[in-house]
Amino acid sequence: MVKVAFFDAKDYDEKSFEKYNGKNGIKIKFFETKLTLDTVSLTKGFDAVCIFVNDEVGPEVIDRLCELGIKLIALRCAGYNNVDVKYAYKKIRVVRVPAYSPYAVAEHAMALLLTSIRRIHKSYIRTRDFNFSLSGLTGFEIHGKTVGVVGTGKIGRIFIDICKGFGAKIIAYDKYPADIEGVEYVDLDTLWERSDIISFHCPLTEENHHMVSEESIKKMKKGVVIINTSRGGLIDSEALLNGLKDRKIGAACLDVYEEEASFFFKDFSGHIVNDDILARLISLPNVIISSHQAFLTDEALENIANTTIDNINKCFAGEKCDNEVCYTC
Ligand code: NAI
């Protein structure tokens, strides 16, 4: 049996993985805690770890995992910016789930956008209180607007198709531009200058950390709507907050936040949140935050479990795994 220590386990994870537990040579133990330097010793006696977006796997954790005999880090997500894959190279294998449901994320991005620009979040609260006033609920249409998409991979392309359905004009920036019908690739400055709506669908890397900054916000259109369902670190949150306060940014739709690891996936409703930027962002009427839930559909959870189990099986059978993360490839 391959023994898997499963970190940051939530009820929906246990539900989707439980059916594989104890079968096909895999035994899973679920831990609620995240994998960090403080918790790495829990992996003693296991063969593999299964982690998610906010587990912290830097060099020290990788060294400890190796000492404890862990042979595989199985990410049950697409992004792997929380694992030092360069350091892990030739020490421990790293696999991921490159696509569990790009539709889930792209549809969530559009859900956030429509909620924001048609003020659904406001009207929902009002009508529950029998307040049927329309004052302050004027929205705007996506039809005819220019949507700037940063990252035209799996999720970005689906988001583009959805926006095309609304009659938007699409411009895009990608480090590796493709040939997509109806999409005009532009450089980043042009994207900032021309977009009415900007949506991020690229991975977080060292080079694009804080690509939304004080400087780039200056180049954007007044009233621009920013959607981030990718990774929080793409946006300098303080610069975003200032842009919103200055009325330069019209609205922000965020499924990710750069300091999310301290808060997201937990209930802080009875606590004082010690992050003034997050608290201020949440207080603004034109900011919608969901807590990294874009992936959370039945279909995606099923795909995540299937692919993760398959990745683990392949690695321990000594087979080639197409979902292996290799920084040299
Ligand atoms: P993908 O790998 O199919 O596409 C990423 C695209 O970004 C590629 O076309 C690539 O060339 C481009 N890219 C790479 N570096 C870039 C840069 N510096 N600037 C601009 N473009 C760049 O990935 P996929 O599946 O579309 O996912 C995109 C991102 O969405 C993931 O990296 C992850 O961070 C995020 N994500 C968020 C989820 C959520 O629940 N909020 C769930 C799944 C993914």
29: β partners: 5
CATH class of the domain at 102-289: alpha beta
* pLDDT above 80: residue 328: no
Mean pLDDT of 123-151: 98
Angle at 17 between CA 11 and CA 23, to 5 degrees: 140
Residue 252 sits at φ, ψ, to 5 deg, of -130, 135
Give the pLDDT confidence score for residue 273 in this predicted structure. 94
Q: Whose CA is nearest to atom 37 of ligand 1?
A: 230
Predicted confidence band of residue 265 (pLDDT cuts 50, 70, 90) = confident
Q: Report the separation in Å between the CA atom of 275 and the middle of ligand 1, taken as the mean of its atom positions.
A: 27
pLDDT in tens, 94-110: 999 998 899 999 999 99
SS (HEC) of 67-119:
HCCCCEEEECCCCCCCECHHHHCCCCEEECCCCCCHHHHHHHHHHHHHHHHCC
Q: Report the separation in Å between the CA atom of 43 and the middle of ligand 1, taken as the mean of its atom positions.
A: 30
Question: What are the strands, taking DSSP E only, across the chain?
Answer: 2-6, 26-30, 48-51, 72-75, 93-95, 146-150, 169-173, 183-185, 197-200, 224-228, 249-254, 287-289
Interaxial angle between packed helices 120-128 and 102-117, expressed in degrees from 0 to 180 and rounded to the nearest 10: 70
Nearest atom, ligand 1, residue 77 CA: 43
Best residue for ligand 1 mutational test, from 149, 154, 155 (most atoms within 8 Å of Cβ): 155
pLDDT in tens, 219-255: 999 999 999 999 999 999 999 999 999 999 999 999 9
* pLDDT above 80: residue 27: yes
* Helix (H), strand (E) at residue 66: helix 59-67
Lining residues, ligand 1, CB within 6 Å: 78-79, 99, 102, 105, 150-156, 173-176, 201-203, 205, 207-208, 229-231, 255-256, 292, 294-295
Interaxial angle between packed helices 154-165 and 102-117, expressed in degrees from 0 to 180 and rounded to the nearest 10: 40
Domain ranges of the chain: 2-100+297-316, 102-289
Which residue has tokens 């990774």? Answer: 231
- Among candidates 124, 149, 151, which has minimal Cα distance to 137? 124
Best residue for ligand 1 mutational test, from 150, 187, 201 (most atoms within 8 Å of Cβ): 201
| Equal fold, 2-100+297-316 vs 102-289 | yes
pTM greater than 0.85 (yes/no) = yes
CB 61 within 8 A of CB 40: yes
Q: Whose CA is nearest to atom 9 of ligand 1?
A: 153
Tell me the CB-side half-sphere exposure of residue 236, using CA atoms within 13 A.
13
Active-site residue list: 231, 260, 292
Mean pLDDT, the chain, rounded, equals 96
Residue 276 sits at φ, ψ, to 5 deg, of -65, -30
Q: Report the separation in Å between the CA atom of 237 and the middle of ligand 1, taken as the mean of its atom positions.
A: 19
CB 311 within 8 A of CB 321: yes
- Among candidates 218, 170, 214, which has minimal Cα distance to 192? 218
Nearest atom, ligand 1, residue 255 CA: 41
CB 181 within 8 A of CB 175: no
Q: Report the separation in Å between the CA atom of 198 and the middle of ligand 1, taken as the mean of its atom positions.
A: 14
pLDDT in tens, 173-217: 999 999 999 999 999 999 999 999 999 999 999 999 999 999 999
CB 94 within 8 A of CB 88: yes
2-100+297-316 under CATH 3.40.50.300, yes or no: no
Q: Whose CA is nearest to atom 43 of ligand 1?
A: 78
